[in-house]
Structure 1
């Protein structure tokens, strides 16, 4: 259960990054941080980050930091993939080699802890 919540935290943090990017785009369009749409997006990002932080603290009560923290590296995979689907960003072939290295590193780190 602890690892499931940890993975939910990673996905939530990744989603928060996407919301931050959407907020930044909205800010560029409206020119005001206090425009209702921009403010709602930014507040949603902060709320999500806050909730995920509380959930992460729960995870840390149940597991060793050294065992669960490597899972946070999954955000380096999830965020760019999400940016591809949400914003249409493209990646060079080297990106996929980097993703493979990150995934291998996560597996090695989690199994060794």
Structure 2
């Protein structure tokens, strides 16, 4: 077991989830699909950081695929369905309920089960 490779499998969906929260924060400044909104978007710090994170995640994904079969690595992308609601709860004060927690547990169990196969 290589801890750096396994950590990359978990960190990648986390980075993508952080990017999603940043895109949500960006959306507060976008009024409509017009040139003025696009100009505001081009200098929005949240948007720029989200793009940088997505770029870094893409490079990391290539690293992950070098070391894992696609069918095993892609399982971990399901963790974004766990991380995004948690981060939106923490940073955006969006609600999380018991059904979400149960679903997240099933996702984690499913990833564990499929990876062990």
Cα deviation, residue 36, structure 1: 6.9
Report SS of the residue matched to 1:91. Answer: coil
Contact 1:17/1:79 (8 A) holds in 2: yes
Match of 2:108 in 1: 103
Deviations 1:45-91 (A, max 9, x none): 11110111011111101111122211111110011000001111112
TM-score, structure 1 as length reference:
0.86
Length, aligned pairs only: 110
Measured on the aligned residues, the alpha-carbon RMSD in Å equals 1.8
Q: Which residue in the other structure is 1:41 paired with?
A: 46
Gaps of 5+ in 2: none
Matched position secondary structure for 1:26: coil
**Match in the other structure for 1:16:** 19
Structure 1, unaligned runs of 5 or more: none
Q: 1:85 to 1:38 in 2, by over 3 A?
A: farther
Report if the CA contact (8 A) 1:3-1:68 is conserved: no
Change (3 A) 1:38 1:92: farther
Runs of 4+ in structure 1 deviating by more than 4 angstroms, as ranges, are none
Rounded to whole Å, the distance in 2 between the matches of 1:37 and 1:64 is 37
